[in-house]
Structure 1
Amino acid sequence: MRHRELVTTVLGDVVAPLVLFYGLRAVGVAAGPALLAGAAVPAARALWLLLRHRRVEWFAVLVLVLCVAGAATALLGGDDRVLLAREAVVTAALGVVLLASVFSSRPVMFVVGRLTLAESGRSPDDWDRRWASSARFRSIWRWLTAGWSAGLFLDAALRVTFAYTLPVDVVPAVQAVQWFAVLAVLLVAGQVWLRLPRHRELVFN
């Protein structure tokens, strides 16, 4: 189920906006309207999720707000580069959420790891006991969450930098590649961290 959701997210939030943007640019549409059209795809998906689950989900609301803000910016004659930089708000917001959770009762990456463990058919009870009794186990997940937060802040900074330094038509493709690259680095680095000899036994046994 999680794999299907990931594929849907990639197709709806990364691939479809990119294809739509370059398709419209190929037929002569200006960069601003093409960017807004691309942004409308994840916005429509976010709205659908809100209506489907019938509850407020902050991430979906953020996507919708950014889409509306982007449209307002375009109508007011704003620079296309402002539209290109708006994606940085999403990753920065995720970084803030992860950072805020580091010293909470359950850091985000621990919650994600626990869900993954449960969905694999294994009981997360051992992890709950280790969380309650082992300061080192808690430290592992707090540092992992902090690392992901730092990676997301770096991603946001790079998005703004690219938005204001690269040619407008190049930025969407670069940001799409960046999305996959940052995610891959964070996933691999996270696994390396969890599998360090001093961590492996606590996490995987």
Structure 2
Amino acid sequence: MTKNSSVLDNFRPLIVDVAVPLGSYYLLKGGFGTSTFAALAWSSVVPAVRTLWGLVRERRTNALAGLILVVNVVSLLLSFVSGDPRLMLAKDSGISSVVALGILVSVALGKPMMTAGMKPFLIKGDAAREAAWERLASGAAADSAAFRRKERAFSLVWGAVLLAECVARVVGAYTVPVDTMVWLGTVVLVGAFAVAFVVSGGLAVEPMGRMLTAEAQAQARIEAEGRKTGRSAVTVAA
């Protein structure tokens, strides 16, 4: 497997389950001028198929696809609500809060959802680092407990920050002038992403990166010693 194909494999769940439905929604609505309802309905096809495929073929739920499907269904129901500009401003925050809650629930269940987005950046398409990740995540390495705590912390930070952002925008929708909140909502969203990146990076990504490097190096030393011992044994036998 090449480095590029490895990175692509790691990104595939995010691309198929998140980027495709979200991208198709904005393309249909903004590019082709379809109604909000139609754009949401068509962009729900991929996550719906992925969710059903996981249930029927793999006997398990697809967390990312299922979450996007729930968000789209809620959006479809709320698209019938119109006429109140403040409610329309709050609607987007209410929908995105489903994503935040989904992330927090995934942490509570021991299957942190944000790992799919973090893993490729830490592995960097390197087979040794990917093997080190598997050992640390499975409990086979000395630092496994600490590694998994950091993995959960990463998703916890993102879920908490996104939920706080949703609450702030809902409050703003009903307390700040509508014209101001139209642009301020975007500022709040961008600020929340910046905070999440900085905090999760220092709290989880950096220490996990160091643990991956240490584990990969330790395994390389073990393998090198094994090869050296093997050669010595052959020499002695000869």
Q: 1:172 maps to which residue?
A: 182
Residues in 2 aligned to 1:125 and 1:44: alpha-carbon distance in whole angstroms? 44
1:48 maps to 42
Alpha-carbon distance between aligned partners in 2 of 1:92 and 1:148, rounded to the nearest angstrom: 12
Shift of 1:105: 4.2
Q: Is the 8 A contact 1:109 1:145 kept in 2?
A: yes
Q: Is the 8 A contact 1:70 1:83 kept in 2?
A: no
Change in CA separation of 1:68 and 1:103 when aligned onto 2, cut-off 3 Å: closer
Match of 2:230 in 1: none
Q: In the alignment, is residue 122 of structure 1 matched against residue 126 of structure 2?
A: yes
Q: Percent identity?
A: 22
1:88 aligns with 2:82: no
Partner residue of 1:148?
158
Q: How large is the Cα RMSD of the aligned pairs?
A: 3.5
Cα deviation, 1:100-159, whole Å, max 9, x if unaligned, reads: 1114343112232224456x4223221111012211111011122111111011011111
5+ residue gaps, structure 1, are 18-36
Q: TM-score, normalised by structure 2?
A: 0.59
Change (3 A) 1:46 1:128: farther
Distance of aligned partners of 1:11 and 1:137 in 2 relative to their CA distance in 1, 3 Å threshold: same
* Rounded Cα–Cα distance in structure 2 between residues aligned with 1:110 and 1:103: 14
**Aligned residue pairs: how many?**
176
Scaled by the length of structure 1, the TM-score of the pair is 0.68
Q: What is the CA–CA distance in structure 2 between the aligned matches of 1:195 and 1:150, rounded to whole Å?
A: 17
Asked if the contact 1:46–1:61 (Cα under 8 Å) also holds between the matched residues in 2, the reply is no
Change (3 A) 1:153 1:173: same
Match in the other structure for 1:202: 211
Q: Distance in 2 between matches of 1:146 and 1:85?
A: 24
- 1:181-196 → structure 2 map (5 Å cutoff): 181-194=191-204
Aligned counterparts, 1:70-81, within 5 A: 70-71=79-80, 73-74=81-82, 79-81=84-86
Summarize deviations over 1:51-76 as a string: whole Å, max 9, x none.
356615442452353244243x22xx
Residue identity opposite 1:125 in structure 2: A
Cα displacement string for residues 17-64 of structure 1 (whole angstroms, at most 9, x for unaligned residues) = 7xxxxxxxxxxxxxxxxxxx9982xx6554333335661544245235
Unaligned runs of 5+ in 2: 1-7, 52-64, 215-238
Tell me: CA distance 1:10–1:175, structure 2 relative to 1, closer, same or farther (3 Å): farther
Bigger Rg, which one: 2
Please give the alpha-carbon distance, in whole angstroms, between the structure 2 residues aligned to 1:101 and 1:53: 18
Instruction: Give the drift of 1:99.
Output: 1.0
> Residue in 2 aligned with 1:109?
114
